[in-house]
Every structure is written in structure tokens, then in C-alpha cells.
Amino acid sequence: MRSHLDACRGCWDRWNRYRWDAALAHPLLDQLADFLGEDYRPYIDSSRALADDWDLADPQTPAEVAAFFQTSTNYLYNLAIWEASGNRPAYLNATLPVLQALPVRTVLDLGSGIGSDAIALQAAGFRVTTCDFDSPSTRFCAYRADMTLPRICPTVVSSEHAADVLWCIDTLDHLPDPDHTLNALLPLALAVVTEDLDENRAHGRQRFHHRHPPSQIRAMFERSDLRPHRAGPATVWMRPTTWAALPGRTARPARHGKPDPGSTNTLTFPVCVPEREPVLRPLERWTEQWRRGLGQRRDRHLGPPRPQLS
């Protein structure tokens, strides 16, 4: 499916329209429109524009890569439409109950972007620090959070910035050398949250990702005695002692992504996510809101004429 969308411009245009239509009822788009003001461009094909921008800039050095993201408004659109359309997996829904059962208070969100998870983690009572370059995306995050989320630059991260939890969702594939970047942080973390590394992580036309083999990432975490535990679309990496301290969880953790015989490494805590956080609403809930409120929102998020299906 993804390879066909990348190759077929007509189908991709319909997919872009579908995502924007699905996103219209999400409050994130109202926030984005307020933030960008007259520069707001509804129905922009940010995925294709971002890939084209990257190919044109052709950044080679770490400084050139950083400069690219520090100035990219298309990346801001891309992150926003990914979340608002429901295309982004509900990582926080799956992992928040686990974190709330652990003795953790501080979270370092590496590659925080627009604050898709950082803002909700802060609302859930965690002390959150974001880590990303100053960019349109992080300025939008600060706008959404009323300037209450501290941010550090990735180039200055050290053991001084260690936190109980490292939030690394959609981050590892942006790092050319994850081991070097996380070396000072992993030994001090009680838990690390990533996407499910065994799932297909195809990135389409966007060539700024580094496709690290899951075995390489697992080996990096295991050197700090962090073992994987599936939590829906995410993985929570914990030390065996942390795992054993969870209520009702005394089984040995998984090794190399597979459960030990007679035990389980799938976390099934009851979800207790605050309903007031729009970022946490499942797709079906605000799809119904979209159907009810589409006419009122068309005035603001009006896009080009719908493509004609042949």
C-alpha cells in the first residue's frame, strides 16, 4: 500500500485530502491555525513538500541536518497532520498506565517535536523536559503548552539531564548513532519508551531517517540491562528489578524480543488516560465529532476542490 502511494500521485493526493478531512475536528488544527496566522495553509501536502525540501537541501553534516529542521515549517505541518488525522499510533494511551505504576516522576522527551506526548505527560503529573532543536515545531509546542515545558538542545545533552523515563517515540530513526547519543542517559534511566521496533517502520519518500536494525537497538538497551515489554504499539524497556516491582508482575522479562517460557512480557494495565486531553482521544471518537462539526469548520480549514474520482 505505502509503496503504491509513493508511486501514484493521484492516489497520494486523495490520501492527503482524506487525512486533512479526518483531522478537521481535532483541536490541534485550530491551535495550528492560531499559531501560524495568515501563513496557515490548510490541505498542504507537507509529506511530499518535506521530502522535496530535503532532497533540495541535501544536508550532509550534523550541523546542516540541524539547520534543516530548525527552519522547516513543512515538518511542523507533517507532525500536526500525523497526530490530528489519527494516523499516529496511540503510544501514550498504551504506556501511561505503566508509567503511573512505576516510581517515576521525571521524563525527558527526546525529539519532542510539537509536544504530541510531552504536553499530555505533563498534564498527567510528570515533570517533563523536552529535547529538540529550536524550530517551528518546538515553538508550536511551547505555544500549546503556554511556555510551561522546559526545552534543552540535543547538542548539550549529558548525564546532568538524566530522567527517570526516556521518551524516545519516533526518535531513534532520526539519530545517526543512537548509542553515542544515549550513552550518558541509558544507565541512569528506570524506563525507556519507544515504538514497537519489530513493526514495519517504512518512511516512504522521506530520506532523513536512519533505519537501524531492531537487533542493534535491542543490544544497545541490553547493555544497560533494559529489557523490552510490549505495550500496544509501543515498547517499555525496563530493568528486571523495575519489572518485578510492578503490581502483579513477577515474571521474567523478555530477551531478544521474545518472552521467556511460562511468562509474559505484554503489559495489559487498564487504561486510565485523562479524558480531557484531546491528544489522547481515539480516532473513532473524534471521527464522529468531525461528522457532526464538519460544516462549521470548513470556513476555516477550507482546502482546494476535492479531486474527482474517475
Q: How confident is the model at residue 292 (pLDDT cuts 50, 70, 90)?
A: low
The grid coordinates of residue 127 equal 515533570
228: three-class secondary structure by DSSP: strand
110: three-class secondary structure by DSSP: strand
Q: Cβ contacts of residue 298 below 8 Å, gap of 6+?
A: 24
167: three-class secondary structure by DSSP: strand
Q: Is the separation of the CB atoms in 110 and 168 below 8 Å? A: yes
Name residue, grid cell 498504551.
94
Q: Which domains can be identified in the chain, with CATH numbers?
A: 2-87+281-297 (no CATH), 91-245 (3.40.50.150)
pTM of structure: 0.79
DSSP result, 196-209: -TTS----TT-TT-
pLDDT in tens, 189-233: 999 999 998 775 555 555 666 788 889 999 999 999 999 999 999
- Angle CA 256–258–263, to nearest 5: 130
Q: How far apart are CA 285 and CA 144, in angstroms?
A: 22
pLDDT in tens, 138-157: 999 999 999 999 999 998 98
